[in-house]
Copies of this chain bind each other. A is one copy, B any other.
């Protein structure tokens, strides 16, 4: 008998019929003898609908109130799944994040889990119940509801698996696992059988939306093996995210990630002196602009160019902030480009093999795709390119790194 934590995403519980299908899957597992804790997201577009309702009432809704509001979506689906399990003849109970003992800090909208008090969870499991936990939410010290940010139910599931010492953590979604690239962009993409935590993190943060990056971090921290698989195609094996042990696998590019919509801002002719970056990026953060990649060019005559990317929705605000700063920091000008995207090559093998970067740049050049900006990590190379060439870049790189072959 194993202890299993499962997570079902919003598209898996979008309607009453979907919820009944999920209940049958859980029931099969339970009848096979496993203890099951299932984490659920809100039904379908519920979260977006609630956000829209809030914005009609207040364009800048209070983050505390927003969290309480959004948390109801997962509570609704958790109770319905519990009812569906009872209709299947099983004993089940739904728990809110608070009832499941998920204690967080008080950073509304992107709270982090501080600890999980598993007393009630253990009690319900001992009583033979399937426990359904409302994902994406917790409770702060002050007994206020918090949410973990979009995709937070993944984090709930992995953290519960760690706290409950579960034998498996299974993330069920509407795709068959982690692909070598987004199959909607690259028809040759195929699901990976497994992938390391670090690679998965790089893929998740550079555009692969299947898995919440923080969930992967928690998995890495507590060594939780995470299976990402299809809710409605039980035959597909899915992808196991785990601590990579096979040295051979470490020598390959594992996947191509991409982002369709980013904007780029370059501050020209900034004096290259200590503290200059802070003087630019602190006001941006204070203005609510989330900055993605930052690149600073080598300086010429003690002047340098600083380039960073933001989401297109933040571009106007970013330019306002920078233009206001310009006189005091002594920059010579600002240029921006709104219609860009990124393409990233990810794989632990790249850390020690410089040839990967060269092959990436040559592939883009061969396809006449201009590189606007480059940033790298140990196991990732990201190029900023024209938005309308992102798809071409993904397909070309997928072929160039032989990901089509499996």
Residues B72 and A87 in contact, CB atoms below 8 Å apart: no
SS class, residues of chain A in contact with chain B: helix
Q: Which of B53, B78, B83 contacts A62 (CB 8 A)?
A: B83
Chain A, interface size category, equals 35 or more
Binary per-residue interface labels of chain A (162-189) against chain B in the complex, 1 for a CB within 8 Å, 0 otherwise: 0000000000000000000000000000
If the complex has contacts A72-B76, A76-B50, A79-B69, are A86 and B64 also in contact, measured as CB distance less than 8 A? no
| Known contacts A16-B56, A57-B20; A94 and B80 CB within 8 A of each other | no
Given A68-B94, A93-B64, answer yes or no on A58-B79 (Cβ-Cβ < 8 Å).
no
Mask of A356-395 contacts with B, CB within 8 angstroms, 1/0: 0000000000000000000000000000000000000000
- Whether B72 contacts A58 by the Cβ 8 Å rule is no
Chain B residue at minimal CB-CB distance from A67? B79
Are A75 and B82 in contact, CB atoms less than 8 angstroms apart? no
A99 CB within 8 Å of chain B: yes
**A66 interfacial contact with B, CB 8 Å:** yes
* A75 and B79 within 8 A (CB): no
Which residues of B sit under 8 angstroms from A75, Cβ to Cβ? 68-69, 71-72
Stoichiometry, as copies per complex, reads: 2
Q: CA A62 – CA B88 in complex, angstroms?
A: 13
Q: Contact between B79 and A68 (Cβ–Cβ < 8 Å)? A: yes
Residue A84 lies at the interface, judged by CB distance under 8 Å to chain B: yes
Measured in the bound complex, the distance between the Cα atoms of B20 and A59 in whole Å is 13
* Interface of chain A residues 215 through 230 with chain B (CB within 8 A): none
- Determine whether A404 belongs to the interface, using a CB cutoff of 8 Å to chain B: no
Which residue of the partner chain B has the closest CB to A80?
B57
Q: Which residues of A, 266-280, contact B by the 8 Å Cβ criterion?
A: none
B residues less than 8 Å from A82 (CB atoms):
62, 65
A61 within 8 A of B: yes
A74: nearest chain-B partner, CB-CB: B72
Asked if B68 and A80 sit within 8 Å, CB to CB, the answer is: no
Which residues between 33 and 78 of chain A lie within 8 Å of chain B, taking CB atoms? 50, 53-54, 56-59, 61-62, 64-66, 68-69, 71-72, 75-76, 78
A96→B65 CA distance, assembly (Å): 11
Q: How long is the Cα–Cα vector from A93 to B62 in the complex, in angstroms? A: 9
Q: Are A80 and B54 in contact (CB under 8 A)?
A: yes
> Is A111 in contact with chain B by the CB < 8 A criterion?
no
Other contacts beyond A66-B79, A68-B78: 7, CB < 8 A = A16-B56, A53-B80, A54-B80, A57-B84, A58-B83, A66-B83, A72-B75
Q: Which residues of A contact B (CB under 8 A)?
A: 16, 19-20, 50, 53-54, 56-59, 61-62, 64-66, 68-69, 71-72, 75-76, 78-80, 82-84, 86-87, 92-94, 96, 99, 120, 143-145
- 14 A-B residue pairings within 8 Å (CB atoms): A16-B53, A16-B56, A57-B83, A57-B84, A57-B87, A59-B87, A62-B82, A62-B92, A64-B93, A65-B82, A68-B75, A68-B96, A96-B145, A99-B143
